[in-house]
Amino acid sequence: MTNGVSNYLSYTAKELKPSPIRKFFDLAASMEGVISLGVGEPDFITPWNVREATILSIEQGFTSYTANAGLLELREEISAYLQRGFNVDYNPVNQIIVTVGASEAIDLAFRAIVNPGDEVLIVEPSFVSYAPLVALAGGTPIPVSTSPANGFKITAEQIEAAITEKTKAILICSPNNPTGTALTRKELEEIARTVEKHDLIVVMDEIYAELTYDEEFTSFAAIDGMYDRTILINGFSKGFAMTGWRLGFLAAPAEFVGHMLKIHQYTTMCAPHMLQHGAIEALRNSYHEVESMRNSYRRRRNYVVDTLNNIGLDCHVPGGAFYVFPSIKATGLSSEQFAEKLLMEEKVAVVPGNAFGESGEGYIRCSYATSMEQLQEALKRMQRFVERRVGAVVK
């Protein structure tokens, strides 16, 4: 090579920013004795029946490719699951694709709908992948900040304010990572009116649907008039404790799916065959396990929210997922300072809120997907930390 590597790289690759949690990960990973509330995945291991079914499928030699869209048997189970759980009707033959994680499904959705110059609204604070995926698809991600005043719930007005003639689509994740905020049917209906008015497509990330605690979960595709405009994203990672399997799925009107399937076919071919057998078992026989995990998260959520509020970190009660998103403004520190000092002084890892968008500044994300014993110890350490800070502010 005559020139430096940089000369060979695409503008797209160069412009892509490294994940904002990377630096923090490196720091936390280098330390001993850290209690981590920074983990974005369940503390449960995948239910044994699912693992066992997968082992059996390997023993039986299910090692070939499957149909691009995934095993029809699995798509039929997904279709039945969406019908009984969320009251939405998708044809397993041409409306569902099994993907390598919900992440691939989101990527497919953006690649299928975004033209250069198109704007996609991203409701923030949000999962770190959405905006880069829009950019990779050639579009422009436009952050739409939510406000802590109403528990980080996106409102029709906030969406209206961000809409331009270039706006093509909006991505919403509910229950949300990092805020845990779950939108109710009524709130989704209000959003739907705005979506209809401006003729938008909605990429709806419902990966935390199973982890909804207070109100019954409503799928956006089930809202009047939204079925035709919704690309529904879901998967097995969170509710079924199957993050490392990288198995997700999308469901959408057939014409969208046809185009997404071409992209999936060329980039991925299909999701791993043996794992799809595990997913079939997950959908058929994991109801009780999923329910028991949900109950366990709900109890921990209640405990963590109550304790954080008691130690002076204001925290709304999130309706879903396994995150709480308390304000750390009382300490006078920025999100990054808080996270870094907490890690160095008390060995507790949390994720600074600004990693999830500017509107996350002043907040931290704490995952309660960890044992009660660990949570109790972590919160004890956080209390000491906050008392030192708040004491210092008062002086």
Partner 1 sequence: MKLNSEEIEILKIIEENHKISAATIASMVMSNEEKVRETIKKLEQQKIIMSYPTLINWSKVEGQEHTIAMIEVKVTPKRGVGFDEVAQRISRFPEVSSLYLMSGAYDLSITVEGRTMHEVASFVSEKLSPIESVVSTTTHFMLKKYKHDGVRFDSGDEKDRRMVVTP
Query: What residues line the site for partner 1 (CB under 8 A)?
Result: 19, 21, 24-25, 28-29, 34, 36, 38-41, 43, 45, 127-129, 177, 295, 299-300, 302-303, 306-307, 349, 351, 355, 372, 376
Tell me the closest approach of the beta carbon of residue 309 to partner 1, in angstroms.
10
Which CB, 36 or 167, lies closer to partner 1?
A: 36
Which CB, 12 or 19, lies closer to partner 1?
A: 19
Which CB, 41 or 73, lies closer to partner 1?
A: 41
Which CB, 28 or 169, lies closer to partner 1?
A: 28
Tell me the closest approach of the beta carbon of residue 317 to partner 1, in angstroms.
9
Which CB, 74 or 369, lies closer to partner 1?
A: 369
Tell me the closest approach of the beta carbon of residue 123 to partner 1, in angstroms.
16
Pairing mode, if any, of strands 351-352 and 96-99? Answer: unpaired
End-to-end CA distance of the chain: 61
Which CB, 244 or 258, lies closer to partner 1?
A: 244
One DSSP character per residue, 275-320 reads HHHHHHHHHHH-HHHHHHHHHHHHHHHHHHHHHHHHTT------SB
- Angle (CA) 379-304-178 rounded to 5° is 105
Tell me the closest approach of the beta carbon of residue 113 to partner 1, in angstroms.
23
Pairing mode, if any, of strands 140-145 and 119-124? Answer: parallel
Which CB, 19 or 147, lies closer to partner 1?
A: 19
Tell me the closest approach of the beta carbon of residue 141 to partner 1, in angstroms.
16
User: Could you tell me where the beta strands, DSSP code E, fall in 306-367?
Assistant: 323-324, 348-349, 351-352, 364-367
- Residue among 106, 90, 66, 111 at smallest CA distance from 262: 111
Total residues belonging to the chain: 395
Tell me the closest approach of the beta carbon of residue 48 to partner 1, in angstroms.
10
- Residue among 163, 78, 151, 88 at smallest CA distance from 121: 163
Tell me the closest approach of the beta carbon of residue 369 to partner 1, in angstroms.
9
90 contacts 233 by C-beta, under 8 angstroms: no
Exposure of 64 in the CB half-sphere (CA atoms within 13 A): 4
